[in-house]
A = this chain, B = another copy of it.
Amino acid sequence: MPSTLAHDSVQSLMKKVPEWEHKQDLIERVFEFDDYMSGMDFVNAVAEIAESANHHPDISIGYAKVTVLLTTHDKGGLTESDFEIAARIDNLVD
């Protein structure tokens, strides 16, 4: 498990996932869908990535809007793992 990233490293990695918003110790992206079940399909795809990487984002489902929040809880901040997962999640939709 990598350690938390320095500010400069976070800034650099953010360029690879520009759709994500950096908020203190986490990154967050809101995904919008045409309907509820499309959002649920996405949530299940994110869950598969999460489980395979053993790195589990927080997910909020509000009708057809899904918010994914990534941080490395047991390190207390952002690590490279968060950015790797963010890029894999982006690949689901972009």
Inter-subunit contact B58/A61 (CB<8 Å): yes
- Measured CA separation A59–B39 after assembly (Å): 12
Q: Is the interface of A mostly helix, strand, loop or mixed?
A: helix
A59 in contact with B60 (CB, 8 Å):
yes
The complex is assembled from copies of this chain, and their number is 2
> Per a CB cutoff under 8 Å, which of B36, B43, B51, B73 touches A50?
B36
* Residues of A in contact with B, size category: 10 to 19
When chains A and B are docked, how far (Å) is the Cα of A36 from the Cα of B73?
15
Is there a chain B Cβ closer than 8 Å to A33's Cβ? no
A-B contact pairs, 23 of them (CB 8 A): A36-B47, A36-B50, A36-B51, A36-B56, A37-B47, A37-B51, A40-B43, A40-B44, A40-B47, A43-B43, A43-B61, A44-B44, A56-B63, A58-B60, A58-B61, A58-B62, A58-B63, A59-B60, A59-B61, A60-B60, A60-B61, A61-B61, A63-B73
